[in-house]
Amino acid sequence: MRWRTWTGGLSPYVLDTFLAVCSAVVSLWAVYNDDVDWPWWVYLLAASTALYLPWRRVAPLPVLLALSVPVSLLLSAVAHSADPQVPLYAVIGMYTVAERFPDRQRWPMLVVAVAANVLGTHSPNGALFSVLTSVGGFVFGSLVRSQRRLAHLEAERAREAGERAASEAARAVAQERARIAREMHDILAHAVSLMVIQAEAGPLVVHGDPDRAVRVFDTIADSGRDAMVQLRRVLGVLKEEGAGPELAPQPRLAELAEVAERVRGAGLSMDLELPDGTGSLPADVQASAYRIVQEALTNTVKHSGATRASVRVVRAGDVLEVVVADNGRGVAAAADRAVAGWSGGRGLVGIRERAAACGGRAEAGPGPEGKGFLVTARLPLGAAGVREGVGG
C-alpha cells in the first residue's frame, strides 16, 4: 500500500526501467565529459552497466552477475576515468543485494563489493568514497528489508487478530443463541404446561363447579399474559441494535410468588420459602435460581402426577441453596420422560447449565426414601463464583 502511494500506482517494473535509463544517462554523461575522447564502444559499455536494472526483481543475483558486474569491471579497467563520480547502477545494485538477497548471499556480496572498491580505485579518497557509496546503498536496502519484514509481521498479526475476533464473535453469537434458547424454553414450557393442564381440567368443572372453572380460565389467561410479557422482553433484546446480555430478562426471586400462585391455580398445593432481603443478592444468581425453580415446577406439573410441591430458597453463607421437591410418582415412573430426557432434552439440562454458569452445581433424583422427585442447586454468591452474563 505504501509502495502504491509513493509511486502513484506505477508498476515497479516500469519504475526500474526508468531507473535504468537514468543510470545509463549518468554513465554516458560521465564518459562524454571526460578529458579523453573515448571511442563509441566505451559509450556502449557505459550504457550497458544499467542493463540489468529492469530485471533486478526477477532474478537479481544471476542478472547482476551476468550483466552488471562484468560490464562495470571492464569499464573500470579500460576507462577508469570515465566512471561516474556516483555510479547509480552500483548504488541500485547494492540496494538490491541488501533488500532482496538471502543472508548467505548478501553479506559475501558486500565484502566483494568493498574489496573491489578498494582494489579498483586509484586513490585513497576515491576508494573511501566508493566504499561509502556501496555501503550506503547496502544500508538503505537493509532498512527497507527490515521495514518490509515488520510490515509483513504486522499484517500477519492483524490477520490473526481478525481471525481471533471473528472466532470470538462467532462463539459469542453461539452462546447468545443458546442463552436465548434457554429463555424461550423456560418461558414457553412453564406457561404452556400450566395452560394445557388448566385447559384439560376446564371441561370437567365448568358445569359442576363454575367458580372453579372461572379460576381455571383466569389462571390460563394469567399464564398466557406472563409468557407474552417475557417473550416481548426477549424479542426486544433481539430487535434492539447493540443490545447485550445485560438487557435480557432478569427475573427476581420475589417473582417466584407469582409462579407459585399460577402453580396453585393448576391444582397443585404449593409451599414457598424465600430468604429475607432477596433484593441484595446478585441479579444473575437470582435469575438463575428463578429459572431453576420455574423449570423444576414445570417438570413437576407435567410429569410427576404430584399433588403437593415445595420450594425452599435459603442463603447459607456465601451460597444460595435451592431445593424443589414434590410428592409425585418419583423417578421410577418418570425416569424415561423426566430424568433421561429432562423435559424434552432441554429442561433439566438447562438447570444444570444455569447452575454451572454461576460456578455452582445442580442435582436431580428421587426424594427422601425414594418418594417423589427432588431438584437441588447450590449457587455461589461470591464474586469468584459469579460469571458475567449468567441466566438471562
Q: How far apart are CA 122 and CA 114, in angstroms?
A: 14
Query: In this structure, are residues 137 and 92 in contact, taking their beta carbons and an 8 Å threshold?
Result: yes
In this predicted structure, what is the pLDDT of residue 311? 92
Q: How far apart are CA 30 and CA 49, in angstroms?
A: 13
CA 353 to chain centre: 23
Q: Find the helix packing angle between 210-239 and 124-205, rounded to 10°.
A: 170
344-347's contacts with Cβ under 8 Å and 24+ in sequence apart are 344/189, 346/181, 346/182, 346/185, 346/189, 347/185, 347/189, 347/295, 347/298, 347/299
**C-alpha cell of 290?**
428463578
In this predicted structure, what is the pLDDT of residue 32? 83
Radius of gyration, alpha carbons of the chain: 42
Q: How far apart are CA 362 and CA 321, in angstroms?
A: 10
In this predicted structure, what is the pLDDT of residue 343? 44
In this predicted structure, what is the pLDDT of residue 180? 73
Phi, psi of 95 (to 5 degrees): -60, -45
In this predicted structure, what is the pLDDT of residue 321? 92
Phi, psi of 323 (to 5 degrees): -130, 125
Please indicate, yes or no, whether the overall pTM of this predicted structure exceeds 0.85. Answer: no
In this predicted structure, what is the pLDDT of residue 235? 65
In this predicted structure, what is the pLDDT of residue 10? 66
Which ranges of the chain have pLDDT less than 50?
A: 1-7, 243-248, 333-345, 383-392
Q: How far apart are CA 328 and CA 143, in angstroms?
A: 81
Q: How far apart are CA 241 and CA 321, in angstroms?
A: 36
114 three-class SS: helix
DSSP string, 28-96: HHHHHTSSS---HHHHHHHHHTTTTGGGTTTSHHHHIIIIIHHHHHHHHHH-GGGS-SS-HHHHHHHHH
Nearest 5 degrees, angle CA 107-CA 108-CA 110? 65
* Other C-beta atoms lying within 10 Å of the C-beta of residue 267: 16
How much of the chain is helix, strand and coil, in % rounded to 5?
70, 10, 20
DSSP 341: S
Domains and CATH numbers, the chain: 2-120 (no CATH), 177-385 (3.30.565.10)
**C-alpha cell of 62?**
544471476
**C-alpha cell of 106?**
548478501
